[in-house]
Structure 1
Amino acid sequence: MGIVIKQSFKNTLFIYLGFAVGGINTLVLYTRFLEDEYYGLVTFLLATSNILMPLIALGIHHTIVKFFSSYFTKIDKDKFLSSVLFLPLLIAIPIGFFGDLFYEQISNHLSVKNPIIKEYTFVIYLVAFACAYFEVFYAWAKVNFQTVFGNILKELYNRVAVMILLFAVYFQWITKSEFIYYLTGAYFIRMLLMMFYAFRLYLPKFTFQRPDNFKEVLSFSFYIILAGSAGAIILDIDKFMIPGKESLETAAYYTVAVFIGSFIEAPSRAMLNILQPLTSKTLNEKNHLEVASLYKKSSINLLIISGFFFVLINANINELFRLLPVQYAGGALVVFMISLLKLYNGFLGNNGAIINNSKYYKITLPYSLIMAISVYFLNKLFYYELDMGTDGLALATLIVIFSANTSKIFFVKRKFSMTPFTDKSFIMVLVIAVLYLLFNFWDFPIHNINVFNFPIDPIINIILKSAIIAVIYLFLIIKLNISTEISGLFKRFISNNL
């Protein structure tokens, strides 16, 4: 776990720095510098591009991670990379052609409830294309076990770009419309930066020769593109469906709640960046003991870190919403459901990487299709028919992903005879539950402290309660010796500073 801990630590720092910048953007700048309608428009365009992106990428970013470590000579690696690099264009060019041909019909369909969408429909394709090739080159870096720079571009770059552009809107250097165009350009700059970095790490000698297992590569890409497209639908269909019933402003309000609830997934994303190629490598080497070790260690460590932020966020949610404009309040239940889902995802460790990079990868397609269909119909039921509002969208996502992830635990247990659980797992779940229940129902009674008409008393209350939670949480983790890695890091830190 040495390389995992080292790069995961760096990645976590940059992810949380990105979340901090994103938090300022989402909770302060977007809600004050950009009209709610335009914020909702940006949310819709990016969510829709995320749905389209896996189709354009053709699953190549997953294909690179799975197969690169199975080639042992530079010639074979060059054949492989040369073969897959341009495959996304086989999808991207026809989509672009037909999108342009039927642009009027597509834009009219998407803008029935919100006419402002029509003018910006083309942005969906451009952002999807830029994100697809970014992921391809990011995977290129991952298989060379260099994830930090790509992680900075993925988690921090866009949010800093958004912050700069939002201030440009505030100072009237650009218009709200130009904000969307400049943001689109920022995605292309990010793609090019990732491309140059990937080529710097490993520049293949491009050839028209194909690897011997090219049919297997294409087969894997086909399955993963369908599974990835279905997976993208699961994650972003709710934001896509909101403008079909309500105003774009509602999408903005929902996005804020989802962002807050998603804050706890940063450790998972950081660790999985390096765990994915490591898992693929150990599976290709048929080292199942190491796979099982990674499975358990990633699960307990992610549970500890994700659980900490789960308690922090939900225990402070009422104070946090006091910092937002009043129309954004009322999303506490969405935050709880999304954060609970992210906590469970962390609990699974590298479960998804084990399935995706094994010979059983084809099972991801029926899983993803069933999940996509289920979340769509549950959204229709909860949001449209039962009129549960955005709480219903979050509930649908929670039910579907929780059920699917639970079944994946049993699948890996049956095929690999391994689980993510240790003797400390359920103790850790109990610690998280007790601390959540203990701190969720009271706040420090500090009120009416303002600086330049901005209330800072919620910030004071959040800091005070978070400090108490952090001390108790860390004490319990070390005292109960939940994780040997975290206990070791803590003891090393103490010895170096005493």
Structure 2
Amino acid sequence: MGIVQRQGLRNTIISYLGLALGFVSTTLVLPRFLEPQQLGLTGTLASIATLFAQVAALGFASVGIRFFPYFRNRENGHHGFLPFLVGVPLLGFVVVLGLYLLSRPFLIGLYEQDAALLNTYYLWGAVFALFTLLYSLLDAYLKALYHTAFSSFLQDILLRLLILGGALLFAQGWLTFHGYVLWYVGVNGALVLLLTGYLVRIGELHWRPRRAVLAVRPVRELLGVGAFTLLSSLAGSIIMYIDTLMVGAQVNLAAAGIYGIAFNISTALAIPARSLNKIAFPLLADYWKEQNLTGMADFYRRTTRLNTLIGCFLALGIGLNLDFIYSLMRADYAQGTVVVLLLLGSRLFDGITGVNGLILVTSPRYRFDLIFNVSLALLTILLNVLLIPRLGIVGAAVAAVAAQISINLARTWFVWRSFGMQPFTWRIPLILLIAAAAGLAGWLVPTLPSALLTMLLRSATLAGVYAGLILLTGVAPEVAALLKGLRQRLGH
């Protein structure tokens, strides 16, 4: 088994373990120990650090992965590629840090109700950003070297365990909240040290700068690709984090904490689609290389049907059992119930519209994907400005739903007009009808004295009705084929 296969298998295992651990810790454990304002603060610091680091990086993380094959030469330290990869973003960090410090009065002023609290940790946001920047650059370097499993383990498992450990220390009174925040920031620095130690261990920590690095590829080309990547990745991060930042600024940090937990609950719906996209990306690239648009159109329809099938079931399962989920947390977090339902609708629609984004980004017209992402970011900001002051955290959720649906409709139309393919067949509305019937059956289950028993009974009813109708109608051939295969194996 080659290094790519070994690393891929390890990454898959780590990814699923990390997703499960992340959902349990950020959705079920941390909200038991931390108040909404406290979670709102740490979430705001993480969002600031991510955006800060991305601007400072100048897109060099992606540049490193894309252009490293031209520099690869272990004997001479890869022509000094690592110092170049880290050095240019560090210069960017100094510039952004200056702007960050100069903007302190303005940015703190946006958080009227929590200005004093945020001001206490403002400089720690810059330290957090430095750790985030260095980690992303070293991670990109390791990806280029085909060593990805260790960094995935650090990010997906160890970091979550350390944050969870800090929360437990806080809950036991061993850490003050100030100590927990410093722990939260510091464990990200520890990951950078561990990643550096790993590079030493595999003999790839080549820190000596070399003039030859400037001659391998034109610096202007690297900066140009980096700028394009920066815009694309920054737009994606704005879409991901702007809700929390704007809720904290326009309402308060407690509301940001409540919104953040609601957002985390809804992310469970994105896990299957995210896993499917990892497989879809290289397959779509191959379809484009072979100009097999017929095969691509069939794949587009099948993945959309699968996303709809799984997405509807998960959305209903989460929505019907929100009372149970929130019963595991502090009572204040239940204010996010409507937000969860709205965000579930947004993520479900994103899944139903299929892999239109991946088709576009792997196509010859990939630059249009940047236009759609930037448009989505700007539309999200605009709607948040209009709706959060009127509706609070619900306004942020409505903005996310409206923006996501609008852009997905536009992207689906663009793929259809440009390449003559769209993902919808008669099976999609039938799956939605089946989901509505199953959801109604689960909703009609009476509330029992035990929240756990109610959840189990509702889930069993939902699963039974949903699976029964899916098999009865034959709307999902994949399910029937899977069951047939299982029967044959059991029969032998």
Same fold per TM (> 0.5)? yes
Pairwise CA distance, 1:414: 2.6
> Against the structure 1 CA distance between its residues 287 and 242, is the aligned structure 2 distance closer, same or farther, given a 3 Å change threshold?
same
Mapped to 2, the partners of 1:191 and 1:481 lie a distance apart of 51
Alignment match, 1:371: 376
Corresponding letter in the other structure for 2:463: A
> Against the structure 1 CA distance between its residues 270 and 80, is the aligned structure 2 distance closer, same or farther, given a 3 Å change threshold?
farther
Corresponding letter in the other structure for 2:462: I
Alignment match, 2:27: 26
> Against the structure 1 CA distance between its residues 193 and 284, is the aligned structure 2 distance closer, same or farther, given a 3 Å change threshold?
farther
Alignment match, 2:444: 442
Mapped to 2, the partners of 1:291 and 1:194 lie a distance apart of 39
Mapped to 2, the partners of 1:485 and 1:195 lie a distance apart of 45
TM-score by length of 2: 0.81
> Against the structure 1 CA distance between its residues 492 and 156, is the aligned structure 2 distance closer, same or farther, given a 3 Å change threshold?
farther
Asked if 1:308 is matched to 2:313, the reply is: yes
Mapped to 2, the partners of 1:80 and 1:473 lie a distance apart of 58
Pairwise CA distance, 1:152: 4.7
Alignment match, 2:452: 459
C-alpha contact (below 8 Å) 1:147/1:274 kept by paired residues = no
- Out of 339, 344, 347, the position equivalent to 1:342 is 347
Corresponding letter in the other structure for 2:44: F
Asked if 1:261 is matched to 2:266, the reply is: yes
> Against the structure 1 CA distance between its residues 277 and 209, is the aligned structure 2 distance closer, same or farther, given a 3 Å change threshold?
farther
- Secondary structure of 1:324's aligned partner: coil
Pairwise CA distance, 1:310: 0.6
- Out of 364, 382, 406, the position equivalent to 2:409 is 406
C-alpha contact (below 8 Å) 1:59/1:224 kept by paired residues = yes
- Out of 9, 12, 16, the position equivalent to 1:13 is 16
Alignment match, 1:165: 166
C-alpha contact (below 8 Å) 1:60/1:84 kept by paired residues = yes
Pairwise CA distance, 1:278: 5.0
Corresponding letter in the other structure for 2:31: T
- Out of 222, 233, 246, the position equivalent to 2:251 is 246
Q: How does 1:92-241 map to 2 (within 5 A)?
A: 92-100=93-101, 102=102, 105=105, 108-109=108-109, 111-114=111-114, 115-136=116-137, 151-191=152-192, 208=213, 217-241=222-246
Pairwise CA distance, 1:162: 2.0
Q: How does 1:288-437 map to 2 (within 5 A)?
A: 288=293, 291-292=296-297, 294-384=299-389, 387-421=390-424, 424-437=427-440
Mapped to 1, the partners of 2:299 and 2:131 lie a distance apart of 32
Mapped to 1, the partners of 2:202 and 2:345 lie a distance apart of 38
Mapped to 1, the partners of 2:280 and 2:412 lie a distance apart of 17
Mapped to 2, the partners of 1:158 and 1:343 lie a distance apart of 29
Asked if 1:468 is matched to 2:461, the reply is: yes
Corresponding letter in the other structure for 2:317: L
Q: Please, which moves more after superposition, 278-287 or 167-176?
A: 278-287
Alignment match, 1:451: none
C-alpha contact (below 8 Å) 1:62/1:224 kept by paired residues = yes
C-alpha contact (below 8 Å) 2:58/2:227 kept by paired residues = yes
Whichever of the two has the greater Rg, that structure is 2
Mapped to 2, the partners of 1:173 and 1:137 lie a distance apart of 33
Unmatched segments (≥5 aa) in structure 1: 448-456
> Against the structure 1 CA distance between its residues 442 and 57, is the aligned structure 2 distance closer, same or farther, given a 3 Å change threshold?
farther
> Against the structure 1 CA distance between its residues 263 and 364, is the aligned structure 2 distance closer, same or farther, given a 3 Å change threshold?
same
Q: Please, which moves more after superposition, 215-224 or 330-339?
A: 215-224
Alignment match, 1:48: 48
> Against the structure 1 CA distance between its residues 443 and 409, is the aligned structure 2 distance closer, same or farther, given a 3 Å change threshold?
same
**What whole-Å deviation, never above 9, does each CA across 1:448-472 have from its counterpart, x for those lacking one?**
xxxxxxxxx2122112211232233
Corresponding letter in the other structure for 2:432: V
C-alpha contact (below 8 Å) 1:341/1:398 kept by paired residues = yes
Q: Please, which moves more after superposition, 222-231 or 147-156?
A: 147-156
Pairwise CA distance, 1:113: 2.6
Mapped to 1, the partners of 2:48 and 2:329 lie a distance apart of 26
> Against the structure 1 CA distance between its residues 124 and 176, is the aligned structure 2 distance closer, same or farther, given a 3 Å change threshold?
same
> Against the structure 1 CA distance between its residues 290 and 165, is the aligned structure 2 distance closer, same or farther, given a 3 Å change threshold?
farther
Mapped to 1, the partners of 2:464 and 2:201 lie a distance apart of 44
> Against the structure 1 CA distance between its residues 221 and 129, is the aligned structure 2 distance closer, same or farther, given a 3 Å change threshold?
same
Corresponding letter in the other structure for 1:186: V
